[in-house]
Amino acid sequence: MAQTDTDRNRRRLLKVAAAGVVALPLNGLLTRSAAGTGDLPRLSEDDRAARALSYVHDAVNASAGKRKDGALCKNCNLVLDNQGEWRGCSLFRGKAVNENGWCAGWVRRV
Ligand code: SF4
């Protein structure tokens, strides 16, 4: 059976999507230590993007049932710094998140 253009386009789209899923956590891993994001302005919980991902400065205030036990910004694969109370985050570029915060984008640190 011959492949149609639609089949080829669908396969290409799936490959690009799969690459994106792999690249996002790797991006956090590769940029974490070199970011130097300690002086960034703090992300507000009222920020539109923060609200969309249910970000909270203190993970104990996360909506019930959404957060896995032990999930914090400081052990998220998307946090950009290894230390400091306020750290950069791959999802909220240009802003600092609290090390004890959390959002729905949390990914286990590898
Ligand atoms: Fe950023 Fe959310 Fe991870 Fe915190 S939990 S570091 S806000 S992606």
Segment 56-93, tens digit of pLDDT: 999 999 998 999 999 999 999 999 999 999 999 999 99
Instruction: At 87, give phi and psi (nearest 5°).
Output: -135, 155
89 CA closest ligand 1 atom index: 1
> DSSP letters of 12-67?
HHHHHHHHHHHHHHHHHHHHSTT---TTSPBPPTTSHHHHHTT-BSSGGGSPTTTS
pTM: 0.70
How many Å lie between the centroid of ligand 1 and the Cα of residue 110? 14
**pLDDT on residue 23:** 47
How many Å lie between the centroid of ligand 1 and the Cα of residue 15? 26
Q: Which residue is closest in CA terms to ligand 1's atom 2?
A: 103
- The CB of 86 under 6 Å from ligand 1? The reply is no
Mean pLDDT of the region 23-49: 70
User: Which residues, at least 6 apart from 71, have a Cβ–Cβ distance to it below 8 Å?
Assistant: 59, 102, 106, 108
CA–CA distance, 33 with 36 (Å, rounded to integer)? 7
**pLDDT on residue 36:** 60
**pLDDT on residue 64:** 87
pLDDT at residue 35 is higher than 80: no
Q: Which residue is closest in CA terms to ligand 1's atom 4?
A: 73
Ramachandran region of residue 65, left (φ > 0), alpha (ψ -120 to 50) or beta?
Answer: left
